Amino acid sequence: MTSPLCWFHGEIALSTIVDSALVVSFVFVCWRAIQQGVTWFRILEMAALLAAIAGVRAQSAPLLIPLWLYVLWGFARPCGRKLPGAIALVVGFSLLWFVPTVKSAGSIASYVHLLRLKSQIDAPRIVWGGGGMGALLNDVYCMGSACWVGLPGVGIIALTELIFWIVFAKPRAKDGFIGTHNARRNVLLLWIVPTVLFGMFMYVALPGHILNFFPAVAILSSLGLVGLAERLATRFSINRSWTLGFVLFLLVAVNAIVFVWPPRWAPRVLPGLPLTRMEIHQHDVDLSTCFRVIRDKWPLGNIVICHRLESFYWGFPQFEYYLPEYSNVMLAAHATMPGAAGTNVWIGYMHRTTFQSSFEVADGQQIILVVPPGESVNLFETSFDIRRATLVIESGAKLYQLQ
């Protein structure tokens, strides 16, 4: 609740924060089942949540199967009857989203074909798909930096407490892997380890891709903070509740300052990730300025707005959504579009997207080229004579008018 990473992804339209909320709910139900018994109602809850996770972000669901099986195999009685029932429930709930999805794709063959195309796009980012050691190091850096940004400063305290616990805590030899004393540890391990390994050996392209295991890191950090509060209370003979309250207040204050009122040094501490309220606000201001300039300069909608590459924050979707009365054209076809659509341009008009082999500019219309930050107008040199392009405005993105 106090993480800048979660606050940021709660403000943008991506599936990762929804996936995170469902994963946390699933793990919570698993933990309650361990504590209170694996009843048929708990099995029904776990099955519904696991199927929902698969429907929102399919790669997260298989990573939770080890935890799910641990709960069913270790704590469900009789296991021989409840485990097959749980599997049947997951399959049944999954069909509720899988069947409409396959239908929208055209057929199961088309669906599989789309998955194959998507895997080909992702291959260069994967260590074993062609990315090599560079891809692995990039994944590790992205996960580490995102976790750091998600827990500014608190992670250091938690890490020191973890080391203290490993070095000085006395393990109980009588507890096996499956046992209520070690259940908390096992749940966290079975939650974190598969997802981290998947991120390392598949790919992590965005900070939000760690949100399926980041809450587990937050839980570990909270355990570390509680441990610190208890040791401080013992050391200085202070009331434990006051000490814990002070630690929690410090946590909320630091994270709120980093996200809401970031000091000047904050960008250097946040490994270049634009996750603060000011950056979100500035993006919205810049984007709104672009929209206002277009409407003021061409009020009759007599322009064609052209895009050349996909951009999460400055791309075809934003302009198509907020300027529906203008024709928006995506010149670079998406590689996952099957068949002839894979070579078509996207044309957005009045909240409707169509796919055409080409587009024509009507008499009296002009062309506007949208260049995202960090790119140049050379993006469009294969489609237009960019020597005829003049800069209209630079507000985050650059808008060029083609004379």
Instruction: Determine the residue type at 139.
Output: D
H-helix or E-strand containing 40? helix 40-56
Q: What is the DSSP string of 152-165?
A: TTHHHHHHHHHHHH
Q: According to the model, what pLDDT value does residue 172 have?
A: 52
What is the rounded average pLDDT of the residues 18-34?
A: 96
Q: Residue 18: which of 1, 32, 6 has the closest Cα?
A: 6
Task: For 317-365, write each residue's pLDDT tens digit.
Answer: 999 999 999 999 999 876 666 666 677 888 999 999 888 888 888 877 8
Tell me the HSE value of 67 on the side-chain side, using a 13 A CA sphere. 33
**Cβ atoms of 34 and 75 closer than 8 Å:** yes
- The pLDDT score that the predictor gives to residue 50 is 98
Structure tokens at 387: 């020597």
Angle (CA) 61-64-67 rounded to 5° is 155
Contact (Cβ atoms closer than 8 angstroms) between residue 307 and residue 36:
no
Q: Which of the residue ranges 103-107, 353-357, 377-381 has the most confident prediction, judged by mean pLDDT?
A: 377-381
Q: Which pLDDT score is estimated for 99?
A: 96
Structure token pair of residue 272: 């270049």
**What is the average pLDDT across 52-57?**
96
User: What value does the mean pLDDT of the chain take?
Assistant: 87
Closest CA relative to residue 183, chosen from 27, 307, 323, 295: 27
H-helix segments, 57-210? 60-75, 79-105, 108-122, 132-150, 154-168, 183-201
Positive or negative: CA dihedral 254, 272, 371, 392: positive
Q: Sign of the CA dihedral 160, 161, 164, 166?
A: negative
Least confident of 148-152, 324-328, 385-389, 393-397: 148-152
Indicate the helix (H) or strand (E) that contains 401. strand 397-402
Do 60 and 23 meet the contact criterion of CB atoms below 8 Å apart? yes
For residues 286 and 274, what is the distance between their CA atoms, to the nearest angstrom? Answer: 15
**Residue 397 bridge partners (DSSP):** 395
Q: Is 16 helix (H, G, I), strand (E, B) or coil?
A: helix
Model confidence at 286, in pLDDT bands (50, 70, 90)? very high
- Per residue in 120-162, pLDDT (tens digit) is 888 888 888 888 899 999 999 999 989 888 887 677 777 777 7
So what's the pLDDT on residue 171? 53
pLDDT for 330 equals: 92
* Mean pLDDT confidence for 89-105: 95
Instruction: Give which of 326, 372, 370 is closest to 348, Cα–Cα.
Output: 326
Whole-number pLDDT of residue 337: 67
**Alpha helices per DSSP H over 237-305:** 240-260, 266-269, 277-297
List, for residues 196-217, the tens digit of each pLDDT value: 999 999 888 888 999 999 999 8
The pLDDT tens digits for 161-194 are: 777 777 776 555 444 444 555 888 899 999 999 9
Dist. CA 17–CA 195, nearest whole Å: 15
**pLDDT value at residue 350:** 93
Residue 360, token pair as written in the block: 């024509």
pLDDT of residue 252: 83
Domain boundaries, the chain: 4-260, 278-402
**pTM of this prediction?**
0.81
Contacts 24+ apart (CB under 8 A), 246-253: 251/2, 251/154, 251/225, 252/2
- Are the C-beta atoms of 199 and 126 separated by less than 8 Å? no
